[in-house]
Amino acid sequence: MFKKHPLYFLYIITIFLVSIGLIYGFGVKHLSKPGLYILIFTICYFAFHRYLQAKRSNIYFKQLITIDKKYLDVLLCAGIFLFTCFHLWFLGHVPFISAIKTLDYYQIAFIRQAIIEHDSSTIKYL
């Protein structure tokens, strides 16, 4: 199942790692929120996947999508790369490297806060 849905599992692992930080910072009182999110995301993901599998068997749907998957992959990866570069350029530094250089907990909190303060609502949405 992992080979069939690698991005799904990568996303779930990311949410799990974020949840570990949430537990470390606040305990388990907010753990129900990411748990509910993962549950709804999983249901929607597999329902949509099943819907697309049913549609792919339809000849009309196969003719409707004529884009080569290689080009779509390159386009998606290029978009992610460009957005990441734009985001780091907009911030003026790489937050991860800045946080590693300091041992002060408050300075790291200010770095995280600066990321949220400087982003426009469009970047936050993306």
* Residue-range domain boundaries for the chain: 1-65, 67-126
Q: How many CB atoms lie within 10 A of CB 44?
A: 10
Pair 2, 12: CB distance under 8 Å: no
Where do the H-state alpha helices sit in the chain? 6-26, 32-56, 59-64, 69-91, 95-101, 105-118, 121-125
**39 φ, ψ to 5°?**
-65, -50
Which pLDDT tens digit goes with each residue over 55-94? 666 555 555 556 667 777 888 889 889 988 887 787 777 7
CA distance linking residue 52 with residue 74, whole number of Å: 22
Q: Name the pTM for this structure.
A: 0.45
Q: Average pLDDT for residues 113-126, to the nearest whole number?
A: 63
Pair 90, 118: CB distance under 8 Å: yes
pLDDT over threshold 60, residue 125: no
Q: Which helix (H) or strand (E) holds 69?
A: helix 69-91
